[in-house]
Structure 1
């Protein structure tokens, strides 16, 4: 049993150790109490086998890949797999060039629970190797100059146009995002992730490296998990800033809980997720376990609802992921029309942003997050990017939506020194 200080030290060393390989994945709950998480944190490193593919038949390829190995696999789903799920396309510019889908079978896998590290795959000597691992910071991260893809005026104008679509009855709600980026930039990805995870520790944080491309994530949102035959999704809709004054902070929290606009946004997405889960569920088993739960993170309070169902035994669990993808919280309602408008009004291809990464266990359980509040980095092209967005409804105020974007970006901007 390790002390919390020792755990933190071990976690840091383990991440640096894993980062020496071409491929690694680190998933961290940051000590948030969560009924669905199997481990406090888990680290997968080096690849025995890999699957990399573009939208077309990616989910079927993943089924075959998993069936061939029947072991732990770690990977991600890019947002643009929507083009495989529905009759959609992605023509916006992409400067990151992540694959649409990537999974790997790790050579080394270490899981941590209740103060104990356990080697699930690989030699038991890995733990001693990690303890003695000496890492060097290769690049001293400098202040990064961030550019916005849209000006404030352009953003406001696009939100107003999307509200016109809502007034016309095309949609009820759409998640509209904007990109912040930096070119010709060199960062130390592990150091940057550690800084982000310190400033904004969240329950679904993670670090994913695949051949020079990095996801550095402080996401607070779960997309979908499976435990036994139960599927659970926890969409976030509803955001309020934190206050350093405890009584004011409590008042803000209470205000969010009772905010009719935020509740309306949340319930639309809950209905959408219920509909998505129905495609994979035992008839009549879809339930809303919690509606409008308020959860606090370092920068924001969030409104989170929990929806679950029993997985129909005739439906493959990977098809259940496909049936719910992309997640409702990052699309809108009706979902397909919202995704068409996202493509029309956003100017950057989402790629891995608002996709998902996580793992599947040998018995078919899985847990996947939502890629938000995340720095995406391509070391080969020296391009760094992050996107932020929010739900646009009839009641949305474009200027306030813009300010909410900046609030959601605040932790990342702080870490990058901007």
Structure 2
């Protein structure tokens, strides 16, 4: 059944908070998606919520494509199913390689209303409305960097040697941070992160006692009818203190030969990936080197689109494009081999993807970056940041770019919420 309920602006936000605290008790698996009102080419995630008690792996999801609505998360390490690769680095916490579910409860949000699709929508609405949300603050936690600045520089030099030898053109190199706490709440953490970093591909995903708190600015892959859309991000610079400095920094990013070269290489990679599943001659670049403002940074975003081949399944779409080139580099397979060698952690959900699929075949998936991954049972969490290493990259500059990308999460974990 479907019912629609209307809200005042203030009640609307309160009800969403109640919903997530209620769902955390009620359901083993759920996902909340939100574009946070951020303007984005081809739009961000539509605000929506899905929940279920049972999950499945990706192979079952492949079989149900175009038959059922599906919601899921896919680890970066699924690359080992796509190519002959391996992941042997140490994991901060053991996470499933994939988690999918068929929603038992679906809620779609409009400007001043919600539509609840459930067996008993009135019961859901009333149950959520009666919740007294736990709005306590999270404890401050100590964040441990897993890679020192010197170790980072040494790795960058080694990666650049591979570039000089012709093994690769550029590589996305990441470093991780970890934390532990006795009573850190991921629902509170998600709302804190949204205050600091409201992004167009934000998501809170729960799988049993594992949580993803995602403030991603990047789309991996969208399918709308027959149209496929990929939007790689390569190129980052900080925001200014005022409009004048903003304009100067935006121009610096837009005109940076290095950043444009990074972006173009990944655009070419994505064009190649999409060509494997697209109508001949349909792949095109809709926008090249678009610069967009976010709370703490400007990002350079390009949009690549194509017309999908007829009757393709979800497996074919993922295996042609996953993992996303912005998180590997070019050429993709060699970069993934070097990522395994140089990074000190198992990426797991980081740089994977979370999203949803309609039974009509339409879908939208993000890139899991700017995200906290948390195990509520062990009270251990981690996050990671990275940048593209090229022939002429300056290791100190790249390190500072990584710190900039980590800033919002650092502030959330340290309790600096102003």
In the TM superposition, 1:354-373 aligns within 5 A as 354-373=351-370
What count of residue pairs does the alignment treat as equivalent? 408
8 Å Cα contact 2:33-2:45 kept in structure 1: no
The range that moved more, 122-131 or 32-41, is 32-41
Q: Deviations over 1:233-257 (max 9, x none)?
A: 1110000001222100111011111
TM-score of the pair, normalised by structure 2: 0.94
Distance 2:274 2:55 in 1: 29
Distance 1:267 1:35 in 2: 18
Secondary structure in structure 2 of the residue aligned to 1:275: helix
Aligned match of 1:91: 88
Indicate whether 1:130 and 2:136 are aligned: no
Secondary structure in structure 1 of the residue aligned to 2:365: strand
Aligned match of 1:182: 179
**Equivalent of residue 313 in structure 2, options 301, 316, 333:** 316
8 Å Cα contact 2:32-2:48 kept in structure 1: yes
Aligned match of 1:55: none
In the TM superposition, 1:10-409 aligns within 5 A as 10-20=15-25, 21-34=27-40, 36-37=42-43, 40-47=46-53, 49-52=54-57, 58=58, 60-66=59-65, 70-125=67-122, 126-137=124-135, 140-409=137-406
Distance 2:16 2:162 in 1: 48
8 Å Cα contact 1:18-1:44 kept in structure 2: no
Deviation at 1:374, TM superposition (A): 0.2
Distance 2:305 2:129 in 1: 40
Secondary structure in structure 2 of the residue aligned to 1:12: helix
Q: Deviations over 1:384-407 (max 9, x none)?
A: 100000000011100111111100
Secondary structure in structure 2 of the residue aligned to 1:50: coil
Secondary structure in structure 2 of the residue aligned to 1:308: strand
Q: Deviations over 1:57-89 (max 9, x none)?
A: x4x44212446xx22211101000101111111
Distance 1:338 1:259 in 2: 24
Distance 2:293 2:305 in 1: 22
TM-score of the pair, normalised by structure 1: 0.94
8 Å Cα contact 1:359-1:366 kept in structure 2: yes
Aligned match of 1:411: 408
Distance 1:39 1:115 in 2: 17
Secondary structure in structure 2 of the residue aligned to 1:76: strand
Query: CA RMSD of the aligned region, Å?
Result: 1.7
Distance 2:376 2:292 in 1: 34
